[in-house]
């Protein structure tokens, strides 16, 4: 590789996701192996504004690959969204001698990175930025997969399996809200994996009678005495759905909001491995001087895409998965 990149700043920003640490480790170890220095910027973009940093070498990222959360902390920073805030960040970059930044987070984080790079260019200087997609929501348009999604699915599944034991014993209906912000990936994957009676996701208009009431009725007729309804947080109010079930069927569902527990825990094999490949690819793209990039998982391959273009991409939600859920939970006749 070549000698032009000398010092990389690495940060984690937005919501935390299991596997962020593995990505930081991969960036640092790959960079150090190429003779490039690494500075960890703490607390996302706000750390770049305040000059909150730590020098990182190969050993300072030891024993973090198996840890959830992020050793660099993460934050959301309003100030960075303004020109003035980013001027302060640029001053820190100059002070630290950063010629590039690897930003690990969601699309908000990448938009911030691109704005920063453009603003540096207005000063006649250059700052290359590379984004690594890490969010449990899997809602980044350019990448089929985002770091943290698999671990969050596993955590939600483990929780719901436990709930199921008690729901089964008491012959109850459980309505569980899972995270995902405006996306239903987490809910649908989890719903399929736990054998949910019904799943509500924002990508599909809610037909309550057909998708929930009818499914529970069918399950009841088939002899089931407990029902699991999985609701994506972006699909609507979980308590309202529970009230509607009570009104329609005369059963009194128990609501569980899984919440932030889904963000924690040991990263899964998939997240550690993907994060390691993405961190490596981020440094490689910088060394190859490819400009501003987002590292993406495209059909299982790790690619680097032009950041500006990648930020305009949208991901087609795979509605076939919903058909699979229906076919497996309802015993209804499916038409291929
Ligand atoms: P997650 O998907 O986990 O929420 P995210 O990276 O999308 O992750 P955001 O809160 O949207 O999370 O963004 C993180 C930070 O990036 C913001 O707090 C802000 O500092 C910066 N940022 C977001 N959008 C922009 C933007 N359009 N311009 C400049 N900076 C931005």
Note the pLDDT tens digit of each residue in 138-175.
Answer: 999 999 999 999 999 999 999 999 999 988 888 899 99
Is the separation of the CB atoms in 203 and 184 below 8 Å? yes
Smallest CA separation from ligand 1 atom 12, residue: 14
Question: Mind listing the pLDDT tens digit for each residue in 2-45?
Answer: 448 999 999 999 999 999 999 999 999 999 999 999 999 999 99
**Nearest protein CA to atom 31 of ligand 1, as residue:** 112
One domain for residues 127 and 208: no
Q: Do residues 174 and 33 both lie within one domain?
A: no
Same domain, 139 and 154: no
What pTM was computed for the model?
0.95
List pLDDT tens digits, range 227-263: 999 999 999 999 999 999 999 999 999 999 999 999 9
Please identify, by atom number, the ligand 1 atom nearest to the C-alpha of residue 139: 2
Residue 324 domain flag: no
Domain boundary among 198, 232, 263: 263
Sign of the dihedral defined by the CA atoms of residues 183, 185, 188, 194, in that order: negative
Which residues contact ligand 1 via a Cβ below 6 A? 13-15, 45, 76-77, 80-81, 105-109, 111-112, 115, 135, 137
Looking up residue 50, the CATH number of its domain turns out to be: 3.40.50.450
Q: Is 329 within the bounds of a domain?
A: no
Q: Is residue 36 a part of any domain in this protein? A: yes
Residues marked active site are found at 137
Indicate whether 187 and 162 sit together in one domain. yes
Q: Rounded mean pLDDT of 179-203?
A: 96
Count the helix, strand and coil residues of the chain and give each as a percent rounded to the nearest 5: 45, 20, 35
Domain stop point among 231, 263, 295: 263
Q: How far is the CA of 18 from the centre of ligand 1 (A)?
A: 18
What pLDDT score was predicted for residue 168? 87
Same domain, 13 and 105: yes
Same domain, 190 and 250: yes
Query: What tokens appear for 83 in the block?
Result: 């020109």
Going by CA atoms, what residue is nearest to atom 13 of ligand 1? 108
Assess if residue 26 is contained within a domain: yes
Q: Whose CA is nearest to atom 28 of ligand 1?
A: 112
Domains contained in the chain, number: 2
How far is ligand 1, taken at its centre, from the CA of residue 15, in Å?
Answer: 9
Among 107, 112, 182, 292, name the best residue to mutate to test ligand 1's pocket (greatest count of ligand atoms within 8 A of Cβ).
112
CB atoms within 10 A of CB 162: 10
Do 98 and 169 sit in the same domain of this protein? no
Is 244 in the same domain as 177? yes
* Residue 331 pLDDT greater than 90, yes or no: no
CA 60 to ligand 1 center in whole angstroms: 27
Please, what sign has the CA dihedral across residues 43, 44, 48, 50? negative
Q: 20 with 144, same domain?
A: yes
Residue nearest to atom 24 of ligand 1 (CA): 108
Statement to judge: residues 203 and 289 lie in one domain: no
C-alpha dihedral sign at 228, 232, 235, 240: positive
Average pLDDT, the chain: 95
End residue of a domain, out of 240, 263, 286? 263
Q: What is the pLDDT of residue 317?
A: 87
User: Which residue range is the domain that position 276 belongs to?
Assistant: 7-148+267-310
Whether 158 and 252 map to the same domain: the answer is yes
């Amino acid at each position: 590789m070549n000698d032009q990149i000398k010092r990389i700043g690495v940060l984690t920003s937005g919501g935390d996701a299991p596997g962020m640490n593995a990505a930081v480790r991969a960036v640092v170890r790959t960079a150090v192996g190429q003779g490039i220095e690494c500075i960890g910027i703490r607390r996302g973009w706000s750390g770049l504004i305040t000059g909150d940093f730590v020098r990182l070498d190969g050993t300072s990222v030891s024993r973090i690959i198996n840890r959830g959360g992020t050793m660099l902390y993460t934050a959301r920073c309003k100030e960075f969204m303004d020109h003035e805030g980013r001027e302060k960040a640029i001053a820190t970059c100059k002070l630290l001698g950063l010629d590039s930044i690897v930003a690990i987070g969601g699309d908000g984080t990448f938009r911030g990175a691109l704005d920063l790079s453009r603003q540096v260019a207005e000063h006649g200087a250059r700052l290359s930025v590379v984004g690594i997609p890490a969010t449990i929501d899997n809602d980044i348009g350019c990448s089929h997969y985002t770091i943290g999604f698999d671990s969050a699915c596993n955590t939600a599944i483990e929780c719901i399996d436990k709930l199921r034991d008690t729901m089964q014993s008491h012959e109850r209906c459980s309505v569980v809200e899972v995270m995902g912000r405006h996306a239903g990936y987490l809910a649908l994957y989890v719903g399929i994996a736990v054998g949910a009676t019904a799943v509500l996701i924002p990508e599909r208009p809610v037909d309550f009678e057909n998708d929930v009431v009818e499914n529970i009725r069918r399950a009841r007729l088939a002899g089931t005495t407990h029902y699991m309804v999985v609701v994506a947080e972006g699909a609507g109010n979980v308590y309202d759905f529970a009230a509607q079930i009570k009104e329609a069927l005369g059963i009194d569902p128990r609501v569980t909001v899984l919440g932030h527990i889904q963000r924690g825990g040991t990263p899964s094999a998939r997240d550690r491995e993907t994060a390691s490949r993405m961190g490596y690819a981020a440094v490689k793209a910088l060394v190859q001087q490819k400009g501003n990039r987002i590292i993406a998982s495209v059909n299982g391959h790790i690619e680097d895409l032009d950041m500006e273009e990648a930020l305009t991409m949208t991901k087609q939600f795979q509605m076939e998965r919903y058909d699979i859920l229906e076919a497996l939970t309802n015993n209804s006749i499916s038409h291929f």
